[in-house]
């Protein structure tokens, strides 16, 4: 079963320097029917003005990753990490017992467009850590590339949860399938462009909760970039219970 959430149904936040769309409840946007899905708690689609960004602020007990679509994002944290993230890069910060970070647009002239995503960890109170890796267009072209997993398979980043994240680029005749293990959920987010998922047309910003499906088929992409989350079959994370 595919439960579609269209882009125009998302929460909105406009702060001048920041234009954000919230797939799930976040900050001042709250919808009791949209409190995440399984262990996936946040997908924020953020566009940040040049030289602006999120000042230093704390997190704990959360797996937080950023996926840059356009521009460059500058990261600093209290673990001593400093980096600039560009398209193809994925950063994963495991907040654990506590860490503070800032995320700024690295450019003084161009906006940055990125997704910030939160996944609930399997265990709380772990040591904070930072990971970053690059998965270029060639790695994702016409395939679903594993970019995050609990065991670091295929040189993916290691997330502290029974979850796997795939990224893919599709255009024209390019297509792919993902087989889901029994009793698994999935979530599909169309980061840009358009694509058909199991024959259903989706556009930029659309998302789909997936239940009771054996496989997902991705076809008829038009400059499409997608993220697919393979998740536990639970309805509400303990973080919202």
175-231 residue pLDDT tens: 999 999 999 999 999 999 999 999 999 999 999 999 999 999 999 999 999 999 999
* pLDDT of 241: 44
Which residues make Cβ contacts (< 8 Å) with residue 10, sequence separation at least 6? Answer: 21, 22, 23, 45, 205
DSSP 112-174: EEEEEEEE--SSSSPPPEEEEEE--HHHHBTS-EEEEESS-GGG-EE-SSS-EEEEEEE-TT-
Measured over all CA atoms, what is the biggest interatomic distance in the chain, rounded to whole angstroms? 48
DSSP 176-195: EEEEPPTTEEEEEEEEEEEE
Please write the tens of the pLDDT for every residue from 23-32: 999 999 999 9
* pLDDT of 235: 85
Distances (CA, A) of 57 to 53, 54, 102: 12, 8, 7
Domain containing 106: what range? 2-240
At 63, which CATH number? Answer: 2.60.120.10
Q: 130, 171 in Cβ contact below 8 A?
A: no
- When divided into structural domains, the chain yields a total of 1
Token output for 164: 């796997």
Q: Which residue reads 């356009």 in tokens?
A: 70
* pLDDT of 239: 55
* pLDDT of 237: 57
Each residue's pLDDT, cut to its tens digit, for the chain (241 residues) gives 999 999 999 999 999 999 999 999 999 999 999 999 999 999 999 999 999 999 999 999 999 999 999 999 999 999 999 999 999 999 999 999 999 999 999 999 999 999 999 999 999 999 999 999 999 999 999 999 999 999 999 999 999 999 999 999 999 999 999 999 999 999 999 999 999 999 999 999 999 999 999 999 999 999 999 999 999 999 875 554 4
* pLDDT of 238: 52
């Amino acid at each position: 079963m595919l439960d579609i959430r269209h882009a125009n149904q998302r929460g909105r936040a406009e702060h001048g320097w920041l234009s954000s769309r919230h797939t799930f409840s976040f900050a001042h946007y709250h919808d009791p029917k949209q409190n995440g899905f399984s262990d996936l708690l946040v997908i924020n689609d953020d566009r940040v003005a040049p030289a602006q960004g999120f000042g230093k602020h704390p997190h704990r007990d959360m797996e937080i990753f950023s996926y840059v679509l356009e521009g460059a994002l500058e990261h600093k944290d209290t673990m001593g990490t400093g980096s600039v993230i560009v398209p193809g890069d994925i950063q994963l910060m495991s907040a654990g017992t506590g860490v503070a970070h800032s995320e700024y647009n690295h450019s003084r002239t161009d906006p940055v467009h990125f997704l910030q995503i939160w996944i609930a960890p399997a265990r709380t109170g772990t040591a904070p850590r930072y990971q970053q890796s690059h998965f270029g267009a060639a790695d994702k072209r016409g395939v679903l590339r594993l970019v995050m997993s609990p065991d670091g398979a295929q040189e993916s980043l290691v997330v502290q949860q029974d979850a796997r994240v795939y990224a893919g680029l599709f255009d024209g005749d390019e297509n792919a399938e993902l087989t889901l293990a029994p009793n698994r959920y999935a979530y599909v987010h169309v980061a840009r462009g358009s694509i058909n998922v199991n024959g259903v047309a989706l556009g930029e910003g659309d998302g789909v909760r997936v239940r009771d499906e054996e496989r997902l088929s991705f076809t008829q992409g038009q400059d499409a970039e997608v993220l697919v989350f393979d998740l536990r079959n639970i309805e509400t994370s303990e973080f919202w219970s």
